[in-house]
Amino acid sequence: MKIENPQIAYTIKAKRIRKPLGESLCDSDVASGYCRLLFTDCMLIHEKFYMVMVDRSNNIVGHAFISSGGVNDTIVDIRLVMFYAINSLCSGVICTHNHPSGKRSPSQSDIKLTGKIKSALELVGIKLLDHVIICDDKHYSFADEGLL
């Protein structure tokens, strides 16, 4: 599977969705596999943050690039997350970012950010399904670890 434009791709539900949009994300392993495709370049150099929007059946509605930072962090504007979530008419969101260091576990700022995003999305009836941290050959799922 190849993602044509990792920066942004979403559509409203009234339009036909092409593959890989429309694919179902049924667990964190499948979600991390899709998320890994978004990090097309510099995964080991820059920390980047994306979001994946899904419908009620966890079918992919779209994805959006949110930010790129330095080696240790990136700044995420929650208003952008809300913008793409609302405009895509999604029911759920999976956030994802990479750790160039290869360290799988989340930082305290990762945990705090996840809580803020979850609270913001709940205001408009959208569920934060997971936050996946991507490393070289492994991933960390907030949902799997009971942090959501």
The CATH number linked to 93 is: 3.40.140.10
What local confidence, expressed as pLDDT, does residue 14 receive?
36
d(CA 117, CA 126): 10
Q: Which residues of the chain have pLDDT under 70?
A: 1-24, 42
Q: Would you say residue 64 lies in a domain?
A: yes
Bridge partners of residue 12, in order along the sequence: none
Residues 6+ away with beta carbon under 8 Å from 68: 46, 47, 48, 49, 74
> pTM for the whole thing?
0.82
Domain count within the chain: 1
